[in-house]
Every structure is written in C-alpha cells, then in structure tokens.
Amino acid sequence: MTKGYTKYSWWKQLCDDGVYFVTRLWDSTVYTVVGEREIPPTCTAVRSDQNIEISGWRQGVAGLQGLRRIEYWDEEGQRPLVFVTNHRRLAASTIAAIYRERWQIETFFKSLKQLLKLKTFVGTSENAVHTQIWTALIVMLLIRWLRLKSTFGWSVSNLVALLRQQLFVYRDLWRWLDNPFEGPPAALALEQLALAFN
C-alpha cells in the first residue's frame, strides 16, 4: 500500500489479525532499532534491513512491535526508498519487489473501473462482491482475447465502447472485429404468421 495509508492503529490491527503488509515509511516516523538483519552480499540494492519498533503514537497506547525497516536503493529513480513490513521471512529484495508490483494491481483495478464502469457494487455480501469481481475479470479476459484475435488495431477502450454500441445489432462478431466500419447486414424479413380464428 502507498504511504498515504499510514495509520499506526490500523497497522496494529493488521498485525493482530495476521495480515501481512508492505508500505513506505515516512521520514518523520519515530522508531527504535531492535536488531540488524544480515544482508546477502549479492543483494547490492539493499542498504539496510532492521527489526524495529514504532513508539506509541498516543499516550497510553503500546507501540508496534515485530516490524522490519528496509532501506533499498532505487536504481531507476536514483533515490533511496524505505519500506516497512511485518513479514519476517521474505528477503528484503522480495519486499521491495512486492511494493514495486503493487502499481500493476492499481492499474488493473483502474482499468476495471473505467472500462467496465465497475464503480459500485450491486450487493455488499462477500459472495456478491466476489461474484461481481469475477464477472468483471471474465469480461476483461474476453475483451483482451477478442482484441488479440482481431486483425484491426483496437485499443481496449475503443473495443469496449464499440461493443456496447453493437449489442443490439445482428452481425457476425468475427467479421465485425476485423472490419468495424462495414455496415450491418440488411434486416431479415420475418414472415408474419396469421392466427386462424374459429
């Protein structure tokens, strides 16, 4: 999570519930180094790996124990990044990689919300939320597959927008994907059946 979610009481609740987290540490955070962890010689980007405790943030509140502070050199940005996690077993380089990959998750959910208009949930039970997310994931997979199969140079957003327009038009999907500017086929004349009255 980004460091905008820094709330020590929430971190404590996550720790108590057995939930692991990785985030950035504010420069102003008051902490005590409890111990140093060994850094493998092959891991040159990790500057330090420490066991820390964050002091009580309010009077009468116990501090956070069992945290790790990892200082990592970001080669791309040419700056040091400081991470904090409650996961004790993963390597420091893995913790840095987890934080870096979080952006992929945020980008993915942003595309879900924008392309599929998944802004609110219809139901709020755990099963309803899971069903809606799984449905959105299946739709995204189908759209990306259609884009891959098409010879036309679709962007995902254009494909979604034009698919919405074509929902009530009878046409061959594969032909339309390759040539979207071709007009729809002429409507089939349906024979009107007369009812016999007795």
Q: How many CB atoms lie within 10 A of CB 72?
A: 23
Pair (8, 100) in one structural domain = yes
pLDDT above 60: residue 99:
yes
* 187 domain-assigned: no
Query: How large is the average pLDDT for residues 170-181?
Result: 82
Pair (11, 66) in one structural domain = yes
pLDDT attached to residue 53: 84
Pair (29, 75) in one structural domain = yes
Number of structural domains found in the chain: 2
Query: How large is the average pLDDT for residues 86-92?
Result: 86
pLDDT above 60: residue 13:
yes
* 185 domain-assigned: no
Question: pLDDT grade, residue 189 (50/70/90)?
Answer: low
* 62 domain-assigned: yes
Query: How large is the average pLDDT for residues 5-34?
Result: 83
Domain of residue 132 covers 116-166
What one-character-per-residue DSSP string does 83-149 give?
A: EEES--SS-HHHHHHHHHHHHHHHHHHHHHHHHS---S-S--SHHHHHHHHHHHHHHHHHHHHHHHH
pLDDT attached to residue 24: 85
Pair (86, 124) in one structural domain = no
Q: How many CB atoms lie within 10 A of CB 91?
A: 15
The pLDDT tens digits for 37-76 are: 888 888 888 888 888 888 766 655 567 788 898 898 888 8
Pair (75, 130) in one structural domain = no
Distance of CA 179 to the CA centre of its chain: 33
Pair (51, 81) in one structural domain = yes
pTM above 0.85, yes or no: no
pLDDT attached to residue 76: 83
The structure tokens listed for 5 are 């979610």
Pair (69, 156) in one structural domain = no
Distance of CA 69 to the CA centre of its chain: 24
Q: Which of 12, 16, 11, 13 is nearest to 1 (CA)?
A: 11
Question: pLDDT grade, residue 188 (50/70/90)?
Answer: low
pLDDT above 70: residue 4:
no
Residue 170 three-state SS: coil
Pair (7, 100) in one structural domain = yes
* 109 domain-assigned: no
Instruction: Please state, in angstroms and rounded to a whole number, the distance separating the CA atoms of residues 52 and 49.
Output: 10
The gap between the terminal CA atoms of the chain, to the nearest Å, is 75
Pair (24, 86) in one structural domain = yes
The CA-atom distances, in angstroms, between 152 and each of 129, 141, 143, 180 are 34, 18, 14, 8
In the predicted model, what is the mean pLDDT of the chain?
Answer: 80
